[in-house]
Structure 1
């Protein structure tokens, strides 16, 4: 019995030992690799002079792959054809660069890979690797530094190309539309500063582009631009700031599309809101109206009578601008009928508005009534914005109130003679205690007028006042939210922000945000003073 019991003890001891060994032997995976790949050798060596090779090989200590190479790789001066670079879509311990262009003589080239070279296991980047070589006997070593900001917005874009164009006997302002720059660097996705290295002495124009096409040429229809107004001379110790802006596009027509039985949409570029449109053959149309689609550069041309032919040639003009365009007329399109509806958001700080889907031709206030929740009639006035096709009601709006607006048949008549059916709309306002106020006091200003705006974190404008002197300006009945105060120095006194113009060498109007995000709460007055320049 004792021997049998001893046997059981040995069996249990061995089982426990095996379990413990199994636990100690379980793999843990080890620590995460956070070390970027390292370069073992390069051929030719980095910073080689008298460079004549067409192929460059760089060997790393581990397998690497390329990430976002098209966005990260910046070559300066730009090459007409980008080099063939491997590995693409695979992994290797060797980075191979095959140059397919003829290189310029006595020129320093920089291939900046950004953070596109990463290890295969954890994706650790080799930070901002540059391969530099010169086809001459020395490496250019001058530098230029600066920063990027946005003229209107409070944050700069990422992946901005900063470029230098050589100012010589062949230089013209059109170079940014036609030619690639002498030098280029990209701010990538995390920086608003830049340093251009390996420059040669000379005189340059400093330009920055946020591009859609990535061809290093300025396209006014899709690119943001910023520039320094005067040519700069390298070497220099000055730190430059480039303000980016979206340019106003040159005036041009895009297309004319027949979309309703007697309605044509006209797309345009530039400032053509007040475009005048008429048929080339004036006998075809007895009457017409123009309205604008909201948030798009598109006008709607309404006409009568209905035209029974294949096309309509239109003459468009605005000031010195003139152009013709042809609309292909379609068959069996729907007839546009009048429909009146609410427009915008009614509240204590925003008026009551209505719009229609056909042009409003006549308004009869006698066929409208507006009463509050106690059935008390309200005196009101109406203003029609013919281009936006919006009716705005003005009356004494009170907090914590309900208003009933009724339009009887015939209150609104549209361009085609149609009238509305009975329309009833209900509008309510919040209590003043549910809202906040931002009184803004201006001090120290010598440049007027300025436009004071209250904007959200997404930079949507919720209130705007044009100020002509130092004073206190009240922004009342604002919804609780986080806001910025934005001040636009309206230098040409046209009531809006104006961007710059490259060909006129004009910088954008100055815009300043003060001073930090405002956490406006209900029943608060956030009193602030803005010191103008």
Structure 2
């Protein structure tokens, strides 16, 4: 009996081996939108608040870098996450009769495996129709001859040559791993197109970033297939300075060396025509003075220099002085201001305290 008990005990213990538990296959599916507060493709939209409901709980990743809204917002939008909902608020005033596109571009991820939602575009219009123009192409890094991944393609409505270093673009898209980009639902019009490898994500060109030559495009036509970008090196060789002029209405800027690049002069954000000295080292701008302070911006090549020009108008206002003299029986009256006209009816001429007629004045 003892031998049988030992045999059964060994048999029972041999069945109690430890097995590793598995959780099934790894979740590779990105979150999906199942409902929106306003249907994509809607028109005549006045609301700046949008709710997106997903099929699972979500989180965010690199929102400031990845979230794309066109036309570009000057004020950063607000994206809040509450469980399986994303709440988007546009802080800019919506432009009338404009088609807007929202691309999450990987900034929405699921909370379990951080799978990003990539290929989704949400579209709405503040007018009665959706714009339908589109452009696409590829971007190549000319230094490596490889596709430029995650490059910005920036569209500007302005025709200013230095626009890429001054303001954010009107529309933006990003390239994928093969350098491909595509814009949809654009207005049919002319744009300036620039490709930019934006290292600091400020949507403007900075030193040592890669950039293409600016190109004029029309969204109703096909653009060249491939755009090349190259390094931009920002050397500040020029050092302009304001000169202290003694006359009102004259602004002068001295430059440390002759200009060999294109220079633009902006006064209070308005571009102005100026005169360049024969030695090409002094800019002179003539204007009608109406205020004491001017905001001055000068761009030389891709360099920007800003000044505040203060020239008090009150220092040029002097009291009127009259000086009299006699010559061959004539009384001559001189003024320190140029005389534009004479109203004889308002002249009182006294000689030895006696009023004398002033008819012979010329």
Fold agreement, TM-score > 0.5 = yes
Equivalent of residue 94 in structure 1, options 57, 64, 85: 85
- CA–CA separation in structure 2 for the residues paired with 1:212 and 1:157: 13
Determine whether 1:82 maps to 2:76.
Answer: yes
Structure 1 unpaired stretches of 5+: 255-315, 322-500, 504-533
State how 1:366-405 maps to structure 2 within 5 Å: none
Instruction: Verify: 1:70 aligned to 2:64, yes or no.
Output: yes
- Residue of 199, 206, 209 corresponding to 2:196: 209
Please give the secondary structure, in 2, of the residue aligned with 1:122.
coil
CA distance in 1, matches of 2:140, 2:192: 18
Partner Cα separation in structure 2 for residue 79 and residue 317 of structure 1: 38
Q: Within the alignment, does 1:194 sit opposite 2:184 as a pair?
A: no
Q: Distance in 2 between matches of 1:158 and 1:15?
A: 59
Report if aligned partners of 1:115, 1:129 keep a CA contact under 8 Å in 2: no
Contact 2:80/2:87 (CA < 8 Å) preserved in 1? Answer: yes
Q: Supply the distance in 2 between the matched residues of 1:9 and 1:176 (Cα, whole angstroms).
A: 86
- For 2:133, the equivalent position in structure 1 comes to 142
Is it true that 1:46 corresponds to 2:40 in the alignment? yes
CA distance in structure 1 between the aligned counterparts of 2:180 and 2:76, rounded to whole angstroms:
25
Pair 1:201–1:29, CA change in 2 (3 A): same
Task: Output the CA distance in 2 between the equivalents of 1:116 and 1:502.
Answer: 36
Alignment of 1:102-501 (within 5 A): 102-166=93-157, 171-187=159-175, 190-219=177-206, 221-229=207-215, 231-249=216-234, 251-252=236-237
Task: Report the alpha carbon displacement of residue 81 of structure 1 after superposing the two structures with TM.
Answer: 1.0
Change (3 A) 1:145 1:239: farther
For 1:227 and 1:56, the matched residues in 2 are separated by: 37
Structure 2 alignment gaps of length 5 or more:
240-254, 261-299, 303-362
Say how many residue pairs are matched.
Answer: 249
- Determine if contact 2:135/2:182 at 8 Å carries over to the other structure: yes
What residue in structure 1 maps to residue 327 of structure 2? none
SS of equivalent residue, structure 2 residue 56: strand
Q: Equivalent residue for 2:26?
A: 32
More off after superposition, 126-135 vs 140-149:
126-135
Scaled by the length of structure 2, the TM-score of the pair is 0.60
Instruction: Report SS of the residue matched to 2:231.
Output: coil
* 3-state SS of 2:65 partner: helix
Distance in 1 (alpha carbons) for counterparts of 2:233 and 2:23:
57
CA contact (8 A) 2:103 2:122 kept: yes
- Please give the alpha-carbon distance, in whole angstroms, between the structure 2 residues aligned to 1:75 and 1:199: 13
| Partner SS for 2:112 | coil
Radius of gyration: which is bigger? 2
RMSD: 3.0
CA contact (8 A) 1:226 1:245 kept: yes
8 A Cα contact 1:228 1:242, kept in partner = no
Corresponding residue number in structure 2 for 1:284: none
